Structure 1
Amino acid sequence: MRTTTWQKSTYSGNGDNNDCVEVAATGGTIALRESDTPATVVRTTPPALGVLIRTLKAGTGRG
């Protein structure tokens, strides 16, 4: 059985009330989840996640 190793940002801190997005590499995909609802997992590809991150950093999102 394969174990998924989840990581969160060091900016999140430790202790209670430090909910954050966690990320894990699983084969050829990237898995994302919210630490306060770990059963809900979103999967994407590294290139698609890269586009999302670059778009967010550039502030060019539409919404």
Structure 2
Amino acid sequence: MSTSESHLNFRKSSYSSAKGQDCVEVAEFFEGAAVRDTQHRELGHLAFPSPEWAALLRSATRQ
């Protein structure tokens, strides 16, 4: 899965700390979602296909 970061619209997680630390940004796109560390954007992102992203979200909401 090839995703160009320039075409992604990242948003900060609502679970990020108020001080701006421990932040994660997510960009959803047609084939799935991308995740990156807010403090290290220059390192790129991890892209997940839709089935994997959906499984992660289901698992996280069960906690």
**Is the shorter-chain TM-score for this pair beyond 0.5, marking a shared fold?**
yes
Q: Which has the higher contact order (CA 8 A, sep 6+)?
A: 2
Identity %: 26
Per the normalisation by structure 1, the TM-score is 0.61
Unaligned runs of at least 5 residues, structure 2? 1-5
Q: Which has the higher strand share?
A: 1
Choose the corresponding residue for 2:36, options 33, 37, 40. 33
Aligned residue-pair number: 58
User: Which structure is higher in helix share?
Assistant: 2
Higher Rg:
1
Say what the alpha-carbon RMSD is for the aligned residues.
Answer: 2.7
> One-letter code of the match for 1:43?
A
